[in-house]
Amino acid sequence: MKWNKKGLIYEPNTSFEWNSKGYASVPTVYKISEDVLRIYFTARDIDNKTNISYIEVEADKPSNILYVHQKSVLSCGKIGMFDDCGAMVSHVINVNDEVWMYYIGWNVRNTIAYHNSIGLAISKDGGVTFEKFSEGPLFDRTYKEPYFNAAPFVLKENGIWKMWYLSNTKWVEYEGRSEPFYHIKYAESDNGIDWKREGRVAIDYKDENECGIVRACVLKDDDTYKMWYSYRNLQNYRTDKNSSYRIGYAESFNGIDWTRKDEEVGIDVSESGWDSEMIEYPFVYDHKGQRYMIYNGNTFGKTGFGYAVLEEN
């Protein structure tokens, strides 16, 4: 597997209150037609709270931006809610005549840095505006998962809704700040709202230094499930490019039990530029027989997002 990088698609701007601090994190592709793709992303305001908006691009050439939305489509919840410090897009799918957005809710904490939960918002106008399904989250901590959950990817298959999601397993103190450990787990549902969680680990830590595995994206080729995700170490991952996020790859015969094949992923940081320090939060999709990857680069999306195309075998 080898990915050919095609460059930056979108560099964040700071023109409005909802994106005044920039960023365009966790790019999420939604196909409007064979000609147009909508890419949802998450920006930050001056208080570092996250808001969701989108751009539209030419499907055959995603670097050709056709439209830039000037409003946030999903923002913070009311004080005290699971998303009162921000909403971050994770996955968007069609459900009958609606568009469902699974998103990450943010709370700032005082004993640790933050707490995440999983929410749902629904659009009845093709994904232009969204209403939150509820004031409470679909996923939050339980007695079996006592920390936090985030970053869901959902696949509907044979009447079963399948979700791969981030699950926080512990917090540690490292060089004066709290740092989370999280890996990827699996859940199922009959309706996309009520989820059965049995603690099934899909992608686990490979060693004691790895502490962050996040943003699963799953496709099925014939009888093989294929997952792309990002992973990082604990030590100085914000500043040390050797510890920062890289994109990983795994395969499974049932979507539950996975074999990591990170060495086969075929994409790494560039020698210079917007994705020279880290690459993360991949979203992989097919278009007209070609496989594409949209991903973030340096500083968790501060430099925007770009794309790569899988080389033909």
- Residue 242, pLDDT > 90, answer no
Residues 95/98/103/106 CA torsion (nearest 10 deg): -140
Domain ranges of the chain: 3-310
- Tell me what pLDDT residue 218 has: 98
Backbone angles phi, psi at 18, to 5 degrees: -75, -20
Q: What is the DSSP string of 223-271?
A: TEEEEEEEEEESTTTTT-TTTS-EEEEEEESSSSSEEE-GGGS-----S
* 239 has a pLDDT exceeding 90: no
What's CA 139's distance to the chain center, in Å? 16
Backbone angles phi, psi at 239, to 5 degrees: -120, -20
Helix (H) or strand (E) holding 201: strand 195-203
DSSP-assigned states of every residue in 297-313:
-GGGGTT-EEEEEEPP-
Residue 61 to residue 64: CA distance in whole angstroms: 6
* Predicted pLDDT of residue 243: 86
d(CA 188, CA 161): 6
pLDDT at residue 313, as a whole number? 64
pLDDT digits (tens, 9 = 90+) for 60-113: 999 999 999 999 999 999 999 999 999 999 999 999 999 999 999 999 999 999
pLDDT at 262: 97
Distance from C-alpha of 188 to C-alpha of 164, rounded to nearest angstrom: 9
Query: Residue 25 pLDDT > 70, yes or no?
Result: yes
pLDDT of residue 235: 86
Q: pLDDT of 107-137, one tens digit each?
A: 999 999 999 999 999 999 999 999 999 999 9
Q: What's the average model confidence in pLDDT over 9-19?
A: 94
Other Cβ atoms within 10 Å of 254 Cβ, number? 9
What's CA 239's distance to the chain center, in Å?
A: 21
Amino acid at 112: I
Per-residue pLDDT tens digits for 172-221: 999 889 999 999 999 999 999 999 999 999 999 999 999 999 999 999 99
What CATH superfamily classification does 3-310 receive?
Glycosyl hydrolase domain; family 43 (2.115.10.20)
Q: What percent of the chain has pLDDT over 70?
A: 100
What span, in angstroms and rounded, lies between the C-alpha atoms of 245 and 281? Answer: 9
Summarize the confidence of residues 47-66 as an average pLDDT: 97
Q: What is the pLDDT of residue 237?
A: 86
Give the integer Cα–Cα distance in Å for 16 and 310.
35
* 5: number of Cβ within 10 Å: 17
Mean pLDDT for the chain overall: 96
Question: Strands, E, within the chain: which ranges?
Answer: 3-10, 22-31, 36-44, 50-58, 61-68, 87-95, 98-108, 114-123, 131-132, 149-157, 160-174, 177-189, 195-203, 210-221, 224-233, 246-252, 258-260, 280-287, 290-296, 305-310
pLDDT of residue 312 exceeding 80: no
